[in-house]
Amino acid sequence: MASGQASAACGKYAESKRLDPQLGTLLYLGECYAKVGKTASAWVSFKEADDIAAQRRDPRAAKIRERLANVEKTLSNLVIVVADDEPADLEVRQDGALVGRAAWGTPLPIDPGEHEITATSASTKPRTVQALVEKEPRTVTVTLPPLEYLPKPPVAPEAKPEPVVAAASTPRADHRSWLTQHQKTLALVAGGVGVVGVGVGTAFGLMAKSTYDDSAADCDHDVCGRVGHEHRQSAFTQANVATAAFGVGAAALIGGTVLWLTAPRAEPQRKATLVLPVVGPSLALLSVQRSF
């Protein structure tokens, strides 16, 4: 920043925020974005900094709110208009980032420059709109192009079922799917995975807390020495592993429970009776055979 290389500085500040989103980093990043004209990005950084300062009751909170208000005066907004007859699975993106349904038709802060808005769904052709936002603050409205539906694939003729001939002496085959036949086994396996996941998450959670506590000796609030910084980075990594393990364990436990509760009961074997005539040189009778 001091040597006038603001664009390069913004990239480094952004990476610093990704690694450790502290209040000072957010303020520097906001100032950097404001310097290169990315007003919306600057506003987002100052807004995050304002939220953190309010939670911590930081003495810089008043100046941050003042800086945020000044940036708001320079903001441009983008409004994406979506018609009511659009498909239910329509997906709208701005520069590759998903725009949720709640944001359709709502002014959203946007950086000056050229932006690409795309709209896709399974039944329509993809649509693209280019939006140019000038440096002067203004609201730019973009309307999606008309719908163009994709041709429907030809419908294959319905296959006629072949007649089934069952032999009297052949036992009835089990036509249940592999999943249905082994559902309770899969439920037990999923439950075991869930128990292991929760155990691993607990262990790493305790490790993360212990490692973070160790960093206190070399840190003063958010300012740390080399050893303290290494302890905190290690604690963050352990916390992420704990979160992932807990998530996998909980999902496996829930899935195992659902599989066990929805497993079909064993069907009783049907009884069958077979009557056959028996004729010999000195006898004539009926043979009755019954399976249980």
Instruction: Give the model confidence (pLDDT) of 39-81 as tens digits.
Output: 999 999 999 999 999 999 999 999 999 999 999 999 999 999 9
pLDDT, the chain, mean: 82
Task: List Cβ neighbours of 88 (8 Å cut-off, separation of 6 or more).
Answer: none
pLDDT for residue 105 is more than 80: yes
Name the residue range of residue 55's domain.
6-72
SS3 of 285, please? strand
| Residues paired with residue 283 on neighbouring β-strands, in sequence order | 280
Residues 96-108, mean pLDDT to the nearest whole number: 93
Are 76 and 107 within 8 A, CB to CB? no
C-alpha torsion sign, points 5, 6, 11, 15 = positive
β pairing state of 113-121 and 219-220 = unpaired
User: Would 209 be classed as within a structural domain?
Assistant: yes
Same domain, 96 and 53: no
User: Would 247 be classed as within a structural domain?
Assistant: yes
Q: What is the CA radius of gyration of the chain?
A: 33
Domain boundary among the residues 15, 45, 72 is at: 72
Give the C-alpha separation, 56 to 58, whole Å.
5
C-alpha torsion sign, points 25, 31, 35, 37 = positive
Q: Across the chain, how many H-helices and E-strands are there?
A: 7, 11
User: Would 270 be classed as within a structural domain?
Assistant: no
User: Would 278 be classed as within a structural domain?
Assistant: no
- Per-residue pLDDT band at 275 (split at 50, 70, 90): very low
We report the CATH number of the domain holding residue 125 as: 2.60.40
Same domain, 61 and 84: no
Full-model pTM: 0.48
pLDDT for residue 249 is more than 70: yes
- pLDDT given for residue 185 in this prediction: 80
Tokens coding 99 = 């725009």
Same domain, 51 and 87: no
The residue behind tokens 């069907």 is 267
User: Would 200 be classed as within a structural domain?
Assistant: yes
Are 126 and 118 within 8 A, CB to CB? yes
The residue behind tokens 């303290």 is 228
Residues 204-232, mean pLDDT to the nearest whole number: 79
Q: How many CA atoms lie within 13 A of 117 on its CB side?
A: 22
pLDDT for residue 230 is more than 90: no
Domain boundary among the residues 72, 102, 124 is at: 72
Residues 230-241, mean pLDDT to the nearest whole number: 82
Give the C-alpha separation, 46 to 60, whole Å.
12
DSSP H or E run through 14: helix 6-19
State how many domains the chain has: 3
Give the C-alpha separation, 174 to 165, whole Å.
16
